[in-house]
A and B are shown apart, each in its own frame.
Chain A
Amino acid sequence: MTEYTVIGLRVEHTGPLALLQDAGRFGVRRLGVTQGGPADLHGWGWANWLVGNPWGAAALEVTLGGLGLVAERDLCLALGGADLGASLDGEPVAPWTAFRMREGQRLAFATPVAGLRAYLAVAGGFAAEPVLGSVATVVREGLGGLDGRGGKLAAGDRLAVVAEACHREAGRRLPEEERRDYREPARLTLLPGAQVAAFDGRSLFQAFHAEWRVDDRADRMGVRLLGPRLRCRIETLISEGIGLGAVQVPADGQPIALLNDRQTIGGYPRLGALTPLAASRLAQCLPGQAVRLAPTTAERALDAYRRLRIALGA
């Protein structure tokens, strides 16, 4: 930590999972170290943008709610991603907005109203000692986070912020078209992969026409989808690298979309890979929610991703 940092927030109580996440851990996947980073890049990116942070600043990813924070000084904060019923001293805080928090005020997340993961950004970013080049928290690997050991936030934790957090002006407003309502059915764009031809015709038709349900076996490693059984000529491959959003289909025919904390290599055939924005969208789906898969092209996927990154100033 070379920048001047001060304690900004204290954790009063926590819910199921709250993690510090920067853009992720890169360049070490060949050592078996996963990528980590925000499961919903879109919500995380816009939360940082609202407080004027550059791409990559560390924010909190709050899953399902339950987190309670007290300000130890005046701060400029913003919420992106899910609406988890956040309130400031009992007054509702609208999602997708920047707001000020005075010393001694309490910010509390309740339960999901829409979506699953909320992002809390602070002007200047949260500060922690990077591990293998990143503060991204990966609990399974014991890497990153406040303690550097992959710990999720716990009561009593104190969150350091870069000092400018205390005096920067709030005031950015989210472009209306970037607001998401996660209660709507999700349409997930997918780039077909190399093994797509090994699925039988009926399975391919079903993959892109059936309604899929998000299973409750869903976490930062991956999300299982329930629906028609997809049949593939190939049962297993020799293990190979897996990219973000890869949709693998094990022998039971139920696809699993792999997210940020996935294992670095694996051996199931793949239907393809979700686009970065589709992976983000899926990360906001609650168990039972309906999703559809839609094939797309690299040109269109790149166009959408480029627009997001340029809008966020990176």
Chain B
Amino acid sequence: MSRGQALPRIESAGLDGWMVRLFATIDEANLPWLTALTRRCEAALGEALVDLVPSYTTLLVVFDPLRLPPEATRRRLVELLHDLTPDEESDRGEVRELPTWYDPGVGPDLERLAERAGMDIEAVIDCHSTREYRVFALGFAPGFAFMGLLDERLECPRLETPRQRVPAGSVAVAGRQTAAYPVVTPGGWHLIGRTSARLFDRDREGFSLLRVGDRVRFVAVDRATFARQGGDTRPMEANA
């Protein structure tokens, strides 16, 4: 990291990319700035824009260097940053509710997490489900949203050995973040329940249920409701 250089700054990210670094730390207050910059890039780069990847503190701008050469793209980004203002209006984000069945059968780390936090399971569920989380980034897999911030009482490091196979819909926590797995993948987060929400659907407009900036609540539901909503009630082994 270039020492002491002021933020924001624009860093090389290959022939077709510029990394716009806006902040040094993870903070919900970053979101309206990232939203504003994302929107302005869409408007300013037009046909030359290939992809935008917003994350906690940065926006990766991927462009077609044949349509707009790297230096010209960089100059345009400098102009955008010059009078950037946070976009509070569009930053409100969609409010999404994820119906979640919290149960040791589908959340094999729930009991251990409760023990670690010195709480009973009900209190952990309460703690996780009463909070509103913001989506900071998508990545790892299509539709996988990194959300925060988790109540610090539930903070925990990732598993030392990731599981080979985490079922789709699994609701998980790690560090001060929470997430739900859209599809079956390996995973190193602590599993505490399962959601019936379809997080990624190729046939849905927009494909991903969650987007950067969204506000998400996990709503605790019982087994019957979960099953009625199409949730997968099959338990998993704690060591799977």
B is a partner of A = yes
Residues of A near any B CB (own CB < 8 A): 26-33, 35, 131-132, 140-143, 148, 191-195, 197-198, 234, 238-246, 263-266, 272-276, 298, 301-302, 305-306, 309
19 other contacts beyond A234-B1, A298-B12, A306-B65, with CB at 8 A cut-off?
Answer: A30-B51, A30-B54, A30-B212, A32-B140, A32-B208, A33-B142, A140-B141, A141-B141, A191-B15, A193-B11, A194-B1, A194-B12, A241-B55, A265-B55, A265-B138, A265-B139, A273-B12, A275-B15, A305-B15
With a cutoff of 8 Å between Cβ atoms, the chain B residues found around residue A29 in the complex are 51-53, 62
Residue of A140, A142, A241 near B60 (CB, 8 A) is A241
State the Cβ distance, A53 to closest chain B Cβ, in Å: 18
B44 within 8 A of A: no
> 1/0 per residue B5-16: CB within 8 Å of A?
000000111111
B19 within 8 A of A: yes
Residue among A30, A141, A234, A302 with the highest chain B CB neighbour number at 10 A? A30
With a cutoff of 8 Å between Cβ atoms, the chain A residues found around residue B101 in the complex are none
Whether the Cβ atoms of A131 and B202 lie closer than 8 Å is: yes
A234 to B208, CA, bound (A): 33
With a cutoff of 8 Å between Cβ atoms, the chain A residues found around residue B52 in the complex are 29-30
A140 to B182, CA, bound (A): 13
With a cutoff of 8 Å between Cβ atoms, the chain A residues found around residue B138 in the complex are 30-32, 264-265
With a cutoff of 8 Å between Cβ atoms, the chain B residues found around residue A198 in the complex are 1
State the Cβ distance, A305 to closest chain B Cβ, in Å: 6
Whether the Cβ atoms of B141 and A32 lie closer than 8 Å is: yes
Residues of B near any A CB (own CB < 8 A): 1-3, 11-17, 19, 21, 25-26, 50-60, 62, 65-66, 69-71, 137-146, 183, 200, 202, 207-208, 211-212
A141 to B66, CA, bound (A): 29
With a cutoff of 8 Å between Cβ atoms, the chain B residues found around residue A302 in the complex are 15, 65, 69-70
Residue among A143, A264, A305 with the highest chain B CB neighbour number at 10 A? A264
Q: How many A-B residue pairs have CB under 8 A?
A: 146
With a cutoff of 8 Å between Cβ atoms, the chain B residues found around residue A264 in the complex are 53, 138-139
With a cutoff of 8 Å between Cβ atoms, the chain A residues found around residue B62 in the complex are 29, 241, 243
A275 to B58, CA, bound (A): 22
With a cutoff of 8 Å between Cβ atoms, the chain B residues found around residue A195 in the complex are 1
A193 to B10, CA, bound (A): 11
CB closest residue in chain A, given B52: A30
CB closest residue in chain B, given A296: B15
With a cutoff of 8 Å between Cβ atoms, the chain A residues found around residue B11 in the complex are 193-194
CB closest residue in chain A, given B144: A32
A244 to B137, CA, bound (A): 19
Whether the Cβ atoms of A238 and B1 lie closer than 8 Å is: no
A55 to B16, CA, bound (A): 18
10 pairs of residues in contact across A and B, judged by CB atoms under 8 Å: A30-B211, A32-B143, A194-B13, A240-B57, A241-B13, A241-B17, A246-B14, A275-B14, A298-B15, A305-B65
Whether the Cβ atoms of A239 and B139 lie closer than 8 Å is: yes
State the Cβ distance, A309 to closest chain B Cβ, in Å: 6
CB closest residue in chain B, given A274: B14
A32 to B212, CA, bound (A): 11
Whether the Cβ atoms of B139 and A298 lie closer than 8 Å is: no
A272 to B144, CA, bound (A): 26
A298 to B63, CA, bound (A): 14
A272 to B52, CA, bound (A): 19
A302 to B70, CA, bound (A): 9
State the Cβ distance, B225 to closest chain A Cβ, in Å: 28
With a cutoff of 8 Å between Cβ atoms, the chain A residues found around residue B57 in the complex are 238, 240
Residue of B3, B53, B66 near A241 (CB, 8 A) is B53
State the Cβ distance, A251 to closest chain B Cβ, in Å: 15
Closest 8 CB pairs of A and B: A241-B60, A241-B53, A273-B14, A194-B11, A265-B139, A243-B17, A32-B138, A243-B14
CB closest residue in chain B, given A302: B65
Whether the Cβ atoms of B15 and A32 lie closer than 8 Å is: no
Whether the Cβ atoms of B207 and A239 lie closer than 8 Å is: no
